[in-house]
Chains A and B, each alone.
Chain A
Amino acid sequence: MADATLVSSPRRTQEWVINLIIKLSGYSSILFVTLIFIFLMREGLPALRNVPLSSILGERWYPIEGYFSILPLIYGSLVVTVGALLLAIPFGVGTSVFLSEIAPPWMNQIIKPLIEILAGLPSVVLGFLGIQVAAPYLRRLLDLPTGLSAFSGAVLLALIATPTIVSITEDALNTVPSGYRQAALALGATRWQVIWGVTVPAARSGILTAVMLGVGRSIGETMAVMMVTGNAPVLPSGWDFLFTPVRTMTATIASEMGEVANGSTHYQVLFFIGIVLFVISLVVNIVASSVSLRGRTRAERVLS
């Protein structure tokens, strides 16, 4: 044995170094999340010192005159996100139920790659088509002053959020034990009754996760929303709020950061909006993953 240690000594050092590198790489994700948090705080927190809270929670976003209310921007993000989900949940969940429970394999092989392609389409491409095709069409169809509105943004966002919802819902449906379905069928239920009475309820925590991640995807989306929502940071003033221009938090950062002086108050407020987005995505993701974890333990309990 002493012989073996002697021979392998340089190799041991080499292996020790490699293992160390691998371990450090493993921990790098924690480092990056921390760094992101630190740098957002470093640049964004001074905003709270320079801008009174009454201004941040006021009614106007007009940085040139020192109005830094983020409420119109939060409203903008909220209205397009809710609109997008109202479209993306039925279409996304419907498609995944169809794929995992009804569609024959050959249809799966056509639909799934198309969903993957949709997931891979750069958002700037969808934004471009929104400007060129969707907005003018909506303007004519609904006789609006402009097609660049919250509604256009919601439609594009629905397209962007759908692949996320489909892939996670489908995973959730696939993990439902086939014994559940067989038991229900044996009791005389139709396939449709099995789907809505057994499979979908059994997968509901996974579907909830899918919806949460869809929310995260929608709130964080930048380019497509910036290009088609008309860039007006205002609070709603009437019942046509869905068809008036809005501006999201993400679009505000993207469109204004290029023009501000580094370290100015405006710059700090834009970073502050970044902190808000960071916290929202943190909450959404932690809730989503804890929901699916709880679901899994429940399923395990049921099966054991």
Chain B
Amino acid sequence: MDMKRSLTSARIQELIGENLLRLVSFATVLPVLAIIVYIVIKGAPAISWEFLTSMPRDGMREGGILPAIVGTFYLTLGTAVFSVPLGIAAAIYIAEYAPDNFWTRLIRIAIINLAGIPSVVYGLFGLGLFVLFLRFGTSILAASLTLSIMTLPVIISTAEEALRSVPQAFRTVSIGLGATRWQTVWRIVLPQALPGIVTGVILGLERAAGETAPILFTGAAFFLPRLPQSPLDATMALPYHIFVISTQVPGMPVKIQYGTVLVLLVFVLGMNLIATLIRQRARARRMW
């Protein structure tokens, strides 16, 4: 009986189909694993204290990548300064204050569209508004502002989700005890939603740190033999540097190329890992 049932054509179809899907899934994620392993193997030999802490020499074909590392750090920090407070405040408005009306729907559509605009178009916008119109020049300031607006929808969406996941009863009790709406948000809802918000912020900044197109015309420098001195200086940055040394500099040693890619990868995936850890820890400790 059992044997007979397991050999019907529907069963065979199921067996083939499910294994096909398994194969497809493996084929999708195996390249990811391969990419990481390959970059680590090829890039690791280039990594040394000198590589991380010294200036490029000999037309970037020797020496280190310090200015690019510092530049990416500054740009990420600059992006955080603008996008984190604005993004969280916007999320608070949408999740806690906004009435369900035309304007709120318009805000939602705007956020969806901000998320969809191509990164190079952000670059054009940053060039038009920050570099030329506001006369910030090609600078860390202009690039950070451009990256901030690009990062905003990520931060708003994830922070909104985190705020909404806080049970309604928390708010009801707080308001019932006489707290105002803002006191409720600040003392009750925000602390509960914090791990989710931090995770979203890090994921947004991770994206900003790896972007090249938005900074191409707003703040990235091909080569600078010194560290940036002020927010109005242009800067080297890891993603743009990778583009430069893999397409614009002939005779570039492969070792330095892979080494630079590995440093960016560690930077970006390190942020990803921190975000994941925070999320898991918060889930484990959640009381509701």
Contact = CB atoms under 8 A, between A and B. Distances in A.
Interface stretch (A46-54, A65-73, A96-104, A296-304): A96-104
B3 interface: no
Contacts of A132: 246, 254, 257
B149 interface: yes
A195 B92 CA distance: 39
Interface string A76-104: 00000000000000111011011100110
A108 B118 CA distance: 30
B114 interface: yes
A213 B113 CA distance: 11
B116 A216 contact: yes
Interface residues of B, number: 86
Contacts of A30: 106-107, 110
B13 interface: yes
Interface stretch (B73-81, B168-176, B203-211): B203-211
A159 interface: yes
Contacts of B243: 124, 127-128, 223, 227
Contacts, number: 255
Given A29-B90, A162-B28, A227-B246, A222 B33 contact: no
B230 interface: no
B36 A117 contact: yes
B120 A284 contact: no
A121 B262 CA distance: 11
Interface in B91-134: 92-94, 97-98, 103, 106-107, 109-125, 127-129, 132-133
Among A29, A102, A126, A213, which residue has the most Cβ atoms of chain B within 10 A? A29
B97 A23 contact: yes
Interface in A14-65: 15, 18-19, 21-23, 25-30, 32-33, 35-36, 39-40, 42-43
A98 B210 CA distance: 30
Contacts of A278: 117-118, 121
Given A25-B89, A26-B92, A43-B128, 13 more contacts: A22-B93, A25-B93, A29-B107, A29-B152, A36-B117, A40-B128, A94-B28, A95-B29, A113-B276, A124-B239, A125-B35, A223-B212, A286-B112
Interface of A: 15, 18-19, 21-23, 25-30, 32-33, 35-36, 39-40, 42-43, 90-92, 94-95, 97-99, 102-103, 110-111, 113-118, 120-129, 131-133, 159, 162, 166, 190-193, 195-196, 213, 216, 219-223, 227, 250, 253-254, 257-258, 262, 270-271, 274, 277-278, 281-282, 284-286, 289
Interface of B: 10-11, 13-14, 17-18, 20-22, 24-25, 27-29, 31-33, 35-36, 38-39, 86, 89-90, 92-94, 97-98, 103, 106-107, 109-125, 127-129, 132-133, 149, 152-153, 156, 180-182, 203, 206-207, 209-213, 216-217, 239-240, 242-243, 246-247, 254, 257, 261, 264-265, 268-269, 272, 276
16 contacts: A26-B93, A27-B107, A29-B114, A30-B110, A35-B129, A94-B28, A98-B21, A118-B32, A121-B265, A125-B39, A128-B242, A129-B38, A253-B124, A257-B123, A257-B216, A274-B121
Top 7 A-B residue pairs of the complex, sorted by shortest distance between their CB atoms: A220-B118, A26-B93, A122-B210, A25-B89, A192-B14, A94-B24, A39-B128
